[in-house]
Amino acid sequence: MKREWWQEEVVYQIYPKSFYDSNHDGVGDLRGITEKLDYLEYLGITMVWICPMYQSPMDDNGYDISDYKKIAPEFGTMEDFDELVAKAKERGIKIMLDLVINHTSDEHPWFQKALEDPDGPFHDYYIFQKGAKEPNNWRSVFGGSVWEKVPGRDEYYFHSFGKKQPDLNWENPKLREQLYEMVNWWLDKGIAGFRVDAITFVKKDLTWRDREADGADGLSKCTRACRNQPGIGAFLRELKERTFDLHSCVTVAEAPGVPYGELGDFMGEKGYFSMIFDFRYADLDIASGSEWFKRRPWTIKELGEKIMASQTELQKWGWGANFIENHDQPRAATKYLREGQNNPEAVKTLAAMYFFLRGLPFIYQGQELGMTNFQRNSIEEFDDLSSVDQYYRSIEEGYSPKEALEFVNLRSRDNARVPFPWNGERYGGFSTEKPWLGMAREYPPVNAKDQAGREGSILEFYREMIRFRQKGEHRDCFVWGSIEPVESSPHVIAYKRCTEEENIWCWFNFSGLEAEERVPMGNMEPVWQSHGEARVCGDFLYLKPYQSVMLKEV
């Protein structure tokens, strides 16, 4: 693969509503990000992905856009945005935006005009069907039918996600033209690229036929019929050719549902995007990607196998986009470490395991502090649309309200969306006003001020990992090297990073007990160890509880 500038980045994901509130109204904003550039520079990241900051009624916190070219007033102005891009650039930090083009808000003027005039040109920007009842039994991602009745008419509109998020009709070339114009307009402003939202949803099964019901509500999950459907390639290729190809930009697609066999179409030199996120191991605690109540047991061995399968497949085509958290996922420490979640050494081994995989590391705000999930006591305390849906659906499926609340606490997207704790003061120094979303603790003990400069802290560990990958002696191997799985004991995940010059073996102990690993080569020298010296005796490496060790063949 030809080398590209973006392959060397370390990305930090910001949820603007919860990063920093510069004008103290309880809601994070763009100036808040600009004011915290010092922190991002201190951490060492090179690119930021900002979740949607466009004008929006915020029904799904910005993933429901009512004007693609305006900034949400609660987040600031276009001047604030331009200032952020310019100030970030001065520090060598690039800005990526979130591109949400599968749907808009129902408050977008296109949709408003579509409702007003069923014979007008905007009606065909969305998906409508005439009739006195829902045209089929598909369930939307956030629950209930994908069809919502148009008030006063025997007509329904289609939404894959919430009912305030009508899907755009990609079959209409005029609509696609409008989207391309908008995408180019943002790229011309000098942003580095996009994270592309829900892009595998843009093609639907146009027969609209019923599917077999899969829940107590009698509905069938819509992803079977409106995700990665045949024919999607023509849309995505055109999108790429008309926009991304005209700029030196980076794109990372949220593309669930793409089989490994089709990765080459979606990523790499010939693919529609630079990279895609692979969700297979992010969802290993649930039996079905979107149903939180279908929980399943899993082991570290299985996690390791899934990660290595993913890396091996991604490597065939291009570059990984590696993450353990984002704004849709619970906190990684809680999800992957369970009883080890409050042990900083456990958090570090998890961090290093994913950070040194082949590809771009993505860090979600607060992950670098080892934040954990919260515990809420009633469904009223949640903001996230899907938490509310999953709560009531669990009850409909026969679980008790207590069990339903437990599923939601484990999986709620609000876990990651709580305000960022800058210090141990009230509201974590995020704002002087009560934040828009309740924090786990009003005076958070886990916070950036406490960890900055403190030896052994998780934040300092992240800084060290970033420095080691970006500027360390083995940079070439960790950035450009290939990856291969390595056999290990059940609680250890291991892999090898290799270039022509170097072979570096990496072991990560996910257990509170010592682990013994066979070291295959005679001469190995440590290049990294997370706490204390690596102990190698003869053919064996002894890892302390939750230790990570990397040895180089000499």
Look at the alpha carbons of 111, 115, 119, 123 in this order and tell me if their dihedral is positive or negative.
positive
Q: How far apart are CA 467 and CA 470, in angstroms?
A: 5
Provide the residue type at 352 as one letter.
A
DSSP SS3 for 475: helix
CB of 280 to ligand NOJ, least distance (A): 16
Nearest to 462 by CA among 366, 547, 359: 366
Look at the alpha carbons of 161, 163, 165, 169 in this order and tell me if their dihedral is positive or negative.
positive
Between residues 437 and 494, which has the closer beta carbon with respect to ligand NOJ? 437
Choices 26-34, 196-204, 209-217, 312-320 (CB under 5 A): range interacting with Ca ion: 26-34
Identified catalytic residue from 9, 197, 368, 384 = 197
- Which class for 502: exposed (0-12), middle (13-18), buried (19 or more C-beta within 10 A)? middle
DSSP 429: G
Binding to Ca ion (CB under 5 A): which residues in 407-436? none
- Binding-site member from 4, 5, 23, 288 for Ca ion (CB under 5 A): 23
Is the Cβ–Cβ distance between 414 and 384 less than 8 Å? yes
Binding to ligand NOJ (CB under 6 A): which residues in 182-211? 197-198
CB of 487 to ligand NOJ, least distance (A): 35
Site for Ca ion contains 80 (CB under 5 A): no
Between residues 25 and 328, which has the closer beta carbon with respect to Ca ion? 25
CB of 413 to ligand NOJ, least distance (A): 7
- The Cα-based distances of 512 to 264, 509, 527 in angstroms read 40, 8, 23
Identified catalytic residue from 21, 74, 254, 325 = 254
Site for Ca ion contains 27 (CB under 5 A): yes
Name the token pair of 47.
Answer: 């690119």
Termini Cα distance of the chain: 28
The answer to whether residue 197 is catalytic is yes
Beta-bridged to residue 147, according to DSSP, are 158
Binding mask 308-327 for ligand NOJ (x = CB under 6 A): -------------------x
Site for ligand NOJ contains 362 (CB under 6 A): no
Site for ligand NOJ contains 254 (CB under 6 A): yes
CB of 62 to ligand NOJ, least distance (A): 9
Between residues 29 and 517, which has the closer beta carbon with respect to Ca ion? 29
CB of 27 to Ca ion, least distance (A): 5
- The Cα-based distances of 81 to 54, 189, 451 in angstroms read 10, 10, 29
Between residues 415 and 457, which has the closer beta carbon with respect to ligand NOJ? 415
Helix (H) or strand (E) holding 307: helix 300-317
- Binding-site member from 100, 115, 183, 459 for ligand NOJ (CB under 6 A): 100
Is the Cβ–Cβ distance between 194 and 251 less than 8 Å? yes
Site for Ca ion contains 342 (CB under 5 A): no
Between residues 315 and 329, which has the closer beta carbon with respect to ligand NOJ? 329
Tell me which residues are annotated as active site. 197, 254
Binding footprint of ligand NOJ on the chain (CB under 6 A): 60, 63, 100, 161, 197-198, 254, 327-328
